Amino acid sequence: MDNPIIMNKYSIERTLGNEIKPYNYDEFVKNFKINIISRTESDLEFDLVGIDVAVANSLRRVILSEVPSMAIEKVHIYQNTSYILDEILAHRLGLIPLKADPRQFKMKEDENSDPNEHDSLVYEMKIKCTKKDLDGLAHKQFISFPVYAKHIKWLPLGNQKDIFTEKDVGIISDDILIAKLRPGQEIELKMFAVKGLPKDHAKFQSVCTAWYRMMPDIKLLDEIKGNDALLLQSCFPKGVIGLKSVKGVLNAFVEDSRKDNSSRNVFRYKQFDNKILLSKIQDHFIFTIESVGAMDPSVIFLEALNILIRKVNSASESALNQTEI
């Protein structure tokens, strides 16, 4: 985009130009790009180039609120003599992330209907703390037994045992602390997980977070040498400003503006006045998705795109079918 957002010392300046160009589909297709920067099992960082901020924000909102996942919805507590109240215990269990892929399950149509292999997963936990003498010391006579997510066991429904394994639908992390028991205390309960939307409850979120930022752009308007070059480098995160020696004198140059966090520390020093231009590229977004673990972040991205496409098609169809009153 030809009109970047200029970052001043105490404000930002949006340079929108003299006129707004009409939307052109062919130009959009030509300029639009998705560049994968880094990808792991849980994190995805990519660039969205050539789109409006409204589209980027719509994608973020869909990822956070409308990509479904599986989570524990109901807990039947048969025994709980721990210090944790039943309501708190059920709430903690509901927030434990599950490995189950929501695409393999249906939405539960009636919340009061019996669970079946198509819309539910069932888990149980039976654990009891017993007395154990250590070495006769009073403060070591009893053990506080930690209850972890690994103590939750999956109970297959119907033919689920033929389709899934414990690894497919179990708990994402075994070391999530649920409670601590003293001797004689026990917990016995059964949990029912269903498919749901994050906009109904945060426990159904498929991501830890999803966010974006505009691509930073840094330009040096004048040469910066010697000690000033070293000072300039210290004003930015590591890797943003590089130094090179020219005839024995250090010269500053922009190494990688992508790493800038827009702190604007450089404006604290008068010697850099009118020598540096900080800006943001309005149609270039650095997008980050951090998955909870049930789905690959690239899959979450594609699911969000499909949801967004369905919403646009539905809105377009409604507009076309609208009749005058």
Per-residue pLDDT of the chain (325 residues; tens, 9 = 90+): 567 889 888 888 876 554 566 778 888 889 899 999 999 999 999 999 999 899 999 999 999 999 999 999 999 999 999 999 999 999 999 999 999 999 999 999 888 889 999 999 999 999 988 776 333 334 554 556 789 999 999 999 999 999 999 999 999 999 999 998 888 889 999 999 999 999 999 999 999 999 999 999 999 999 999 999 999 999 999 999 999 998 889 999 999 999 999 899 999 999 999 999 999 999 999 999 999 988 999 999 999 999 999 999 998 888 888 755 4
Residues 127 and 246 both lie in one domain: no
Q: What is the per-residue pLDDT for 198?
A: 95
Distance, CA of 180 to CA of 185 (rounded, Å): 9
Q: Does a structural domain hold residue 295?
A: no
Q: What is the per-residue pLDDT for 135?
A: 36
Report CA 157 to chain centroid distance, whole Å.
31
What is the domain-level CATH number for residue 93? 2.170.120.12
Residues 161 and 172 both lie in one domain: yes
State the residue range of the domain holding 236.
5-66+213-288
Residues 77 and 154 both lie in one domain: yes
Q: Does a structural domain hold residue 234?
A: yes
Residues 133 and 12 both lie in one domain: no
Q: What is the per-residue pLDDT for 91?
A: 95
Q: Does a structural domain hold residue 252?
A: yes
Residues 108 and 120 both lie in one domain: yes
Q: Does a structural domain hold residue 198?
A: yes
Q: What angle do CA 104, 106, 109 make, to 5 degrees?
A: 170
Q: What is the per-residue pLDDT for 137?
A: 36
Q: Specify the length of the chain in residues.
A: 325
Question: In sequence order, which residues have a C-beta less than 8 Å from that of residue 223 and are 6 or more positions away?
Answer: 251
Question: In sequence order, which residues have a C-beta less than 8 Å from that of residue 236 and are 6 or more positions away?
Answer: 218, 259, 260, 263, 265, 266
Residues 244 and 151 both lie in one domain: no
Closest to 173 in 3D by CA, of 196, 191, 156, 150: 150
Q: Domain end: 177, 205, 233, which one?
A: 205
The answer to whether 134 and 141 are in contact (CB under 8 A) is yes
What is the domain-level CATH number for residue 280? 3.30.1360.10
Residues 195 and 222 both lie in one domain: no
Residues 198 and 79 both lie in one domain: yes
Q: What is the per-residue pLDDT for 142?
A: 52
> Can you spell out the DSSP letters for 198-220?
TTT-GGG-SEEEEEEEEEEEEEE
Which amino acid makes up residue 118? H
Residues 87 and 57 both lie in one domain: no
Residues 39 and 83 both lie in one domain: no
pTM of the predicted protein model: 0.85
DSSP alpha helix (H) spans, 85-185? 86-94, 160-163, 166-169
Q: Domain end: 205, 225, 244, which one?
A: 205
β-strand pairing of 186-196 with 120-128: antiparallel
Tell me how crowded residue 253 is: count the other CB atoms within 10 A of its CB: 12
The torsion angle over the Cα atoms of residues 27, 31, 32 and 35, rounded to 10 degrees, is 170
Distance, CA of 298 to CA of 301 (rounded, Å): 5
The domain total for the chain is 2
Residues 196 and 232 both lie in one domain: no
SS3 (DSSP) at 295: coil
Distance, CA of 10 to CA of 296 (rounded, Å): 40
Residues 137 and 54 both lie in one domain: no
Q: What is the per-residue pLDDT for 320?
A: 84
Q: Please, is 19 exposed, middle or buried when counting C-beta atoms within 10 Å of its C-beta (0-12, 13-18, 19+)?
A: exposed
Distance, CA of 75 to CA of 71 (rounded, Å): 11
Q: Domain end: 183, 205, 227, which one?
A: 205
Q: What is the per-residue pLDDT for 146?
A: 86
Q: What is the per-residue pLDDT for 323?
A: 58
Q: Does a structural domain hold residue 303?
A: no
Q: Does a structural domain hold residue 145?
A: yes
Backbone angles phi, psi at 315, to 5 degrees: -65, -40
Read off the tokens for 252: 């500053």
Q: Does a structural domain hold residue 325?
A: no
Q: Does a structural domain hold residue 88?
A: yes
Q: What is the per-residue pLDDT for 203?
A: 94
The answer to whether 119 and 106 are in contact (CB under 8 A) is yes
